[in-house]
Amino acid sequence: MFAAFMLDTWVAGLIVAITAGVVGWFVVLRGASFAAHALPLGTFPGAAAAVLLGIAPSAGVAGFGLAGVVAIWVLGRRGRPEVATALTLVMLLATGALLLSWTDRYAAQVYALLFGQVLGVSRASLGGMALAGAGAVALVLAGFRPLLLGAIAPDLAAARGARPAAWEFGFLAAIALAAAVAVPVVGALLTFALMVGPASCGRAVSARPELALAASVAIALALMAGSIALSYITSWPVGCFAGLGGAGCYALGRALL
């Protein structure tokens, strides 16, 4: 499993794990689990749109991700966030259903995008993944303190001039970027587990924010490496191990706290 052709897979796994571990920590802290489920799932029809238009699938995923972020943010400002998120997810999936009905070239890729395909990551896509992952991590680490303050009480962040509405948008954008990184590898349906599982378990490791964040990344790395290894050995989909392992991490975290 450490053969030369596997190198790209390990690098992709590394990028996905670090991005999901960092962004996921804020997802758990801010109770944004639903957005972390809806954005990866809602970006998946973007790949269908890209095939139809003859452009790169990652561009389609990014476009749908941005549309999802804007919709959740705008709708969420005047209503309940979970309603805004659900409506956005439905709008994106409905668009995807239409686009998928217009093409028959796409069917083979649907399964891979839903459940992930780490062993098929191409070297050409690694640069874009690294860039998107670095963007997501930089965004949430820059907003570390304003995002924490907003998680304690939104009014408090606003009174301190920490611009909670702007950071909410930045945070949603970070989730969308993380989704663009993770979806091709882990799958649209299973990315959620990788974002929420390690971060939930990391909470049990330390009561200090910085250490819990580091633990979340370490657990995500271990989970991703284990999933790739097991997938290589069994030739079962990597998303299967990442999904079940992520859920297991969550259960372990709750048992420890």
Partner 1 sequence: MSDAALALEGVAVGHAGRAVLAEVGFSLAPGSFAGLIGPNGSGKTTLLRSILGLVPLLAGRVAIGGRGQVGYVPQSIALDRFMPIRARDVIALGLDGHRLGIPLPSRRRRALVDEMIDAVGAAGFADRRVGDLSGGQQQRVMIAHALIRRPDVLLLDEPLASLDLRSTAEVVSLLAGLAREAKVAVLMSAHDMNPLLPAMDRIVYVAEGRAVAGTVAEVVRGAVLSALYGAHIDVLRVHGRVLVVAAGGAPHGHAHDHDEDAMHVVRIP
Q: Which of residues 140-199 bind partner 1 (CB under 8 A)?
A: 141-146, 148-149, 151-162
Q: Select the residue interacting with partner 1 from 43, 203, 227, 241 (CB under 8 A).
A: 203
Buried b vs exposed e over 30-68: b needs ≥16 C-beta within 10 Å?
bebbbbbbbbbbbbbbbbbbbbeeeeebbbbbbbbbbbb
Q: Which amino acid, 169?
A: F
The residues in 5-34 that bind partner 1, with binding defined as CB under 8 A, are 29, 31
Residue 198 amino acid letter: P
Between CA 208 and CA 213 the distance in angstroms is 9
User: Cα–Cα distance between 119 and 10 in angstroms, integer?
Assistant: 9
Binding residues among 105-144 for partner 1 as defined by CB under 8 A? 141-144
Helix axes 81-102, 57-78, angle to 10 degrees: 150
Among residues 120, 208, 234, 251, which is the contact residue for partner 1, using CB under 8 A?
208
Query: Which residue is associated with the tokens 């571990």?
Result: 21
Least distance between partner 1 and beta carbon 211 (Å): 8
Q: Which one, of 44, 57, 198, 193, lies nearest residue 129 by Cα?
A: 57
Binding track over 238-257 against partner 1, x by CB under 8 A: ---------------x---x
Looking at beta carbons only, is 40 or 146 nearer to partner 1? 146
CB of 41 to partner 1, least distance (A): 25
Q: Which two tokens stand for residue 111?
A: 């399964």
Among 55, 98, 211, 251, binds partner 1 (CB under 8 A): 211
Nearer to partner 1, 111 or 155 (CB): 155
Q: Which stretch binds partner 1 (CB under 8 A): 39-47, 103-111, 129-137, 204-212?
A: 204-212
Residue 10 in tokens: 């390990």
- The SS3 call for residue 83 is helix
* Contact flags string 66-105 toward partner 1, x per CB under 8 A: ----------------------------------------
Name the DSSP letter for residue 172: H
Q: Is 53 in the site for partner 1 (CB under 8 A)?
A: no
Footprint of partner 1 (CB under 8 A): 29, 31, 141-146, 148-149, 151-162, 202-204, 206-212, 253, 257
